[in-house]
Structure 1
Amino acid sequence: MKIKILKSISIKLLFGLALIFSADIELRAQRVAVLHKTIEINGLEIFYREAGSPDNPTILLLHGYPTSSHMFRNLMTDLSDSYHLLAPDYPGFGNSEQPSMETFDYTFDNVSLIVEDFLSKLNVSKYSIYLMDYGAPIGFRIAAKYPDRVESLIIQNGNAYEEGLRDFWIPIKKYWNDYTIENGKALEGFHSLDGLKWQYTHGVRNVESISPDNWNVDLQHLQRDENNEIQLAMFYDYRTNVPLYPSWQNYFRTYQPPTLIVWGQNDYIFPAEGAHPYKQDLKNLEFHLLNTGHFALEEDGKLIADKIRKFLNTQINQ
């Protein structure tokens, strides 16, 4: 009798474990389902990554310089079980089409319109925005224009205050004030191989944890014909963002979007001095400085994914 009971218990236990194992495999399969797509926006082929069900809350992931949606590859896997994630490459970046400078105006105004039309074409009317580096001025333009569409902001090393434009920006400001070939040449090192590697590794805890795939992937699109000139055009146009800072700050104060800040505090490009001023204007703010560098997802991706999940669970999943 005891043997039969033990066998019955063992079978039930094994069956239960099998169900748990099967569910875990299914969940992992859902999380790795990142799709790689293209869509035509205003006559341009725009590449984007998509993960998760469109029935779930949408997070728009806006990449920085000099990278692409590649920077979100792991975050999309981590969050795709609960969220719908969209990460477009801007024109001239990543796998998107690179129109000539004669046919496309490489400005933050124009790129933000491309992203705006991207959302419209996909019929996405409500979303959170992950803003990083260049993604901040692009995303803030959209958020300030359509405040009712934005459910929350996730800010990672993305600037909206002059306090954040420190030593790194000295040669770029010189270019703004004196738009010459010589001053532009001085900036080309940022998108050289050594400059790219520095951006990914400066300020991190463990350089060996950062994959060289990052700068090698970036280098491929930066080495396309005319891309150097495109990057310099974007450097020069960044000056147009600074006068908009007060209007974005007014957007924060007026609409009070729920905001999560996860900022690599050792970033030389956008240092922590640019993170603290958000506290002045945002009341519903969760604030974290992380012991890492500019591309914080590379070293603290799992931590950031966990922070996002907990934050959105309290803000938009109620």
Structure 2
Amino acid sequence: MKLPTIRHRHVDVDGVRVFYREAGPADATTLLLLHGFPSSSQQFRRLIDALGTRWRVVAPDYPGFGHSDAPTPASAGGSFAYTFDRLAEVIDAFCARLGLGRCFLYLFDFGGPVGMRLAEAHPERVAGLIVQNANTYEEGLSPIARELVAMRAGVDGAEDKLAGILTVAMTRAQYEGGAADIEHVAPDGWLLDQHFLDRAGRARIQIDLALDYHRNVERYPAWQAWLRTHRPPMLVVWGRNDAFFLEPGARAYLRDVPDAELHLFDTGHFALEEEAPRIAELVDAFLERHAG
């Protein structure tokens, strides 16, 4: 089997050094992989191996994540506001910097609100959506997720509660929770995520983003309207045992995009940890059908 050559690069985006992984022919259809919390582009390594010989695959780390720069947050006296609007602005500029143009978006977790902001701003650039445990519907929010959404600036004790999520036990639980067989979940993922969470200043960044998360839920109706209006080619793959984003949230996409393809897997939030081979096959077939 031929494996792709993966390039590990940085590019300056509005003064932020953004790290990204790239593989595949430069003239091939592009798949932009948008990661979640508390992860980075590393979570897509197996998917890049599977897809990176046929398709141009690009996976950036957001500011404050992985190997990208982590500018001092505005809340700590810096000039960078860690909001989902700002993350989307940086990734939008990143796409322009690389000349990505029209491409398919793979949305996971935080990649959902980042990617939907890109879609709103540039619908003509969206060739299709692949959604993996990225929620856009109220019915997809579990009680745990609703409790987190309620955490916002001014709520007593919110920051202390959010800081309690950034522990190695919680990071590991996000990876292993809901898995059919935790022997399929490599420890590298949650250990590397925790390494970055434990770096100086990173906790403040994640708390700021968590306090901003409620603004994503407020935009759900607008994103649903976007889906109804544009009806993009759409593949939904979902770990149905997700403790944060529930199966009804996956099924809800069919309400606005009836032709969307839905596949549910007996695993948790980080579905690629167990189901990368099957998900890669589905993504490859989806791109083959719609890349023309």
Find the aligned partners of 2:91 and 2:83 in 1 and give their Cα distance.
13
Q: Which residue of 2 is the match for residue 124 of structure 1?
A: 100
Find the aligned partners of 1:183 and 1:256 in 2 and give their Cα distance.
38
Q: Which residue of 2 is the match for residue 11 of structure 1?
A: none
SS of residue paired to 2:100: coil
Say whether residues 1:58 and 2:30 are aligned partners: yes
Say whether residues 1:179 and 2:151 are aligned partners: no
User: Which deviations, in whole Å up to 9, do the C-alpha atoms of 1:38-80 show, x marking residues without a partner?
Assistant: 0000001100000101211000000000000000011001001
CA shift at 1:190, angstroms? 2.2
CA shift at 1:216, angstroms? 1.1
Q: Structure 2: which 5+ residue stretches go unaligned? A: none
Contact 1:171 1:186 in 2 (8 A): no
Say whether residues 1:157 and 2:129 are aligned partners: no
User: Which deviations, in whole Å up to 9, do the C-alpha atoms of 1:173-225 show, x marking residues without a partner?
Assistant: 34237523x22212223221000100000100111121111111111111111
Q: Of residues 240, 246, 266 in structure 2, which corresponds to 1:265?
A: 240
Contact 2:33 2:106 in 1 (8 A): yes
- The 5-angstrom pairing of residues 77-116 of structure 1 reads 77-101=49-73, 102-116=78-92
Q: Which residue of 2 is the match for residue 213 of structure 1?
A: 188
Contact 1:171 1:187 in 2 (8 A): no
Find the aligned partners of 1:177 and 1:110 in 2 and give their Cα distance.
17
Find the aligned partners of 2:147 and 2:289 in 1 and give their Cα distance.
42
| Larger proportion of helix | 1
CA RMSD, aligned part only? 1.2
Say whether residues 1:236 and 2:211 are aligned partners: yes
CA shift at 1:32, angstroms? 3.2
Instruction: State percent identity of aligned pairs.
Output: 39
User: Which deviations, in whole Å up to 9, do the C-alpha atoms of 1:122-169 show, x marking residues without a partner?
Assistant: 111110000000000000000121111110000000011111122112
SS of residue paired to 1:140: helix
SS of residue paired to 1:200: helix
Runs of 4 or more off by more than 4 Å in structure 1? none
Contact 1:257 1:284 in 2 (8 A): no
Q: Which residue of 1 is the match for residue 13 of structure 2?
A: 41
Q: Which residue of 1 is the match for residue 176 of structure 2?
A: 201
Find the aligned partners of 1:208 and 1:272 in 2 and give their Cα distance.
23
Q: Which residue of 2 is the match for residue 276 of structure 1?
A: 251
TM (normalized to structure 2)? 0.96
Report the residue type matching 1:109 in the other structure. Answer: D
Say whether residues 1:75 and 2:51 are aligned partners: no
Find the aligned partners of 1:173 and 1:225 in 2 and give their Cα distance.
25
CA shift at 1:283, angstroms? 2.7
TM (normalized to structure 1)? 0.88
SS of residue paired to 1:300: helix
Q: Of residues 268, 271, 286 in structure 2, which corresponds to 1:293?
A: 268
Find the aligned partners of 2:46 and 2:149 in 1 and give their Cα distance.
34
Contact 1:34 1:51 in 2 (8 A): yes
Report the residue type matching 1:156 in the other structure. Answer: Q
Find the aligned partners of 1:194 and 1:244 in 2 and give their Cα distance.
31
User: Which deviations, in whole Å up to 9, do the C-alpha atoms of 1:242-277 show, x marking residues without a partner?
Assistant: 121111111111111000000000000111121111
CA shift at 1:170, angstroms? 3.7
Find the aligned partners of 2:205 and 2:59 in 1 and give their Cα distance.
21
Find the aligned partners of 1:264 and 1:60 in 2 and give their Cα distance.
20
Find the aligned partners of 2:24 and 2:182 in 1 and give their Cα distance.
31
Aligned length: 288
Find the aligned partners of 2:68 and 2:243 in 1 and give their Cα distance.
28
Contact 1:260 1:286 in 2 (8 A): yes
CA shift at 1:227, angstroms? 1.1
Find the aligned partners of 2:106 and 2:257 in 1 and give their Cα distance.
16
Contact 1:55 1:84 in 2 (8 A): yes
Q: Structure 1: which 5+ residue stretches go unaligned? A: 1-23
User: Which deviations, in whole Å up to 9, do the C-alpha atoms of 1:278-299 show, x marking residues without a partner?
Assistant: 1110032100111111000010
